[in-house]
Amino acid sequence: MSFTQTDQEISIVCGSDAAPSGAELDGPWRALYAGGPIPFGLTGVVASLVDPLAAIGCPVFVISTFDGDVLMTPSDRHDEADRALRGAGHTVDVDAPRD
């Protein structure tokens, strides 16, 4: 689960069964986990992950944590996204770890 709050909104990424009542839902999405830790001074990490997905026209949103990056892709594009990332030389876990 990811909880992000800005001045404009609160965004919760969770299973649809855990979504608050009345929440605006989008999905279904699946997660690909690029584990780390990834040093904070390292640049271009997210770009190197998103670029192969952009090249195949796959929507993605990223949730970054201290230890890695979670790439959320539409469920029906999940296998294609996994292949694109592996083809670009990345090693990814098929699903992000859950709490």
Domain boundaries, the chain: 24-99
What is the reported pTM? 0.81
Length of the chain: 99
Q: How far apart are CA 91 and CA 17, in angstroms?
A: 30
* The domain defined by 24-99 carries CATH number 3.40.50.920: no
Q: Write the CB contacts of 56 (distance below 8 Å, at least 6 apart in sequence).
A: 80, 81, 84
* Per-residue pLDDT at 37 exceeds 80: no
Tens-digit pLDDT profile for residues 74-92: 999 999 999 999 999 988 7
Locate all alpha helices (DSSP H) within 5-96, ordered by sequence. Answer: 45-55, 78-87
* Per-residue pLDDT at 51 exceeds 90: yes
Q: How far apart are CA 94 and CA 81, in angstroms?
A: 10
